[in-house]
Amino acid sequence: MKKLFKVVVAVAAMLAASACSRVESGYVGIKVNLLGSDKGVQQEVLGAGRYYIGMNEELYIFPIFQQNCAFTASETDGNGCSESLNDEAIRFQTVEGLAVKADVGIAFTLDKEKVPELFQTFRKGIVEISDSYVRRVVQDAFITAASTKRIDFIYGEGKATLLKEVNTNVKATLKDKGINVENVFFLSDLIVPPTVTQAVNAKIQATQKAQQRENKVAQAKAEADKAREEAKGFADSQLIKARAEAESIKLRAAALRESADIATLNAIEKWDGKLPQYMGTQALPFLQQAVK
């Protein structure tokens, strides 16, 4: 009898142990009651630890650390959040109706307080939610943002503008569901038909060459303007100098008119004291005046 009791106790202990589930660090869990009046998703969020899960209960676990998903055309590797080997690249069209494909990544975290609501909405785990709902939101955001843009704009300088619009749209849409998006980004160059790539590249090169020509013209104009300004400056300085000299001569002439003795004084100051060899019969004016 005692032996039977020990067996029963051991079996009960094993069953109890098997009914305990563990929520690892970095995850949260939610219970779902399958039977009874409180059947359905329980709103309590379970943190890291062990929990007893009864026969009429199920435990679903969600990660609350950053998730990095890749939606790519690769058919050989899993695409980040899922193990799908299908082509999951994001597809959209430009304003010309040109089909474009892109490998896109997204980084996000879950708001742990909204995990019960998230599960109640989708009845799926994080992998399925990422692979279906999140991807669809990203796809729709690209379709909306690209529909008003030309391929040469998106393929060139407009790529950042496109991503900015997509990020704004995706973040706003997923936040309401308890998914906080860190960033949506390209994983590779845009995938378009080779003929389109060649045409776009040719247009970009033509634009660059035109810009280079404009830069050369602008540089030549700047150099010509500089030369003109330098010539004008030189001419102005010469004019100012000439005006100054003319004004000086004018002032000296006026002074000479007012006093004749100044001319004599200037002659005397410049005389070296030697008389000319041949003077004739006429005396030197300034000597005659000096004698007087």
Could you please report the per-residue DSSP string of 208-267?
Answer: HHHHHHHHHHHHHHHHHHHHHHHHHHHHHHHHHHHHHHHHHHHHHHHHHHH-THHHHHHH
Residue 11 falls inside a structural domain = no
What is the predicted pLDDT for the residue at 11?
A: 39
| Mean pLDDT taken over the chain | 79
Pick out the chain residues at pLDDT < 50: 4-18, 290-292
Query: In sequence order, what DSSP letters do the residues of 104-173 get, joined into one string?
Result: EEEEEEE-GGGHHHHHHHH-S-HHHHIIIIIHHHHHHHHHHHHTTS-HHHHHTTTHHHHHHHHHHHHHHH
Residue with tokens 């990660």: 63
CA-based nearest residue to 184, from 172, 167, 168, 165:
167
The residues that bridge with 92 in the sheet, in sequence order, are 100
Q: What's the total number of domains in the chain?
A: 3
Do 73 and 104 lie in a common domain?
yes
Count other Cβ atoms within 10 Å, centred on residue 182. Answer: 14
What is the predicted pLDDT for the residue at 243?
A: 84
Supply the pTM of this predicted model: 0.61
Do 123 and 135 lie in a common domain?
yes
Do 114 and 220 lie in a common domain?
no
**Domain that residue 24 falls in:** 18-63
SS3 (DSSP) at 200: helix
Of the residues 192, 215, 249, which one is the last residue of a structural domain?
Answer: 192
What is the predicted pLDDT for the residue at 9?
A: 42
What is the predicted pLDDT for the residue at 178?
A: 92
What is the predicted pLDDT for the residue at 106?
A: 96
pLDDT tens readout for residues 91-129: 999 998 888 999 999 999 999 899 988 888 888 888 889
What is the predicted pLDDT for the residue at 264?
A: 65
Residue 9 falls inside a structural domain = no
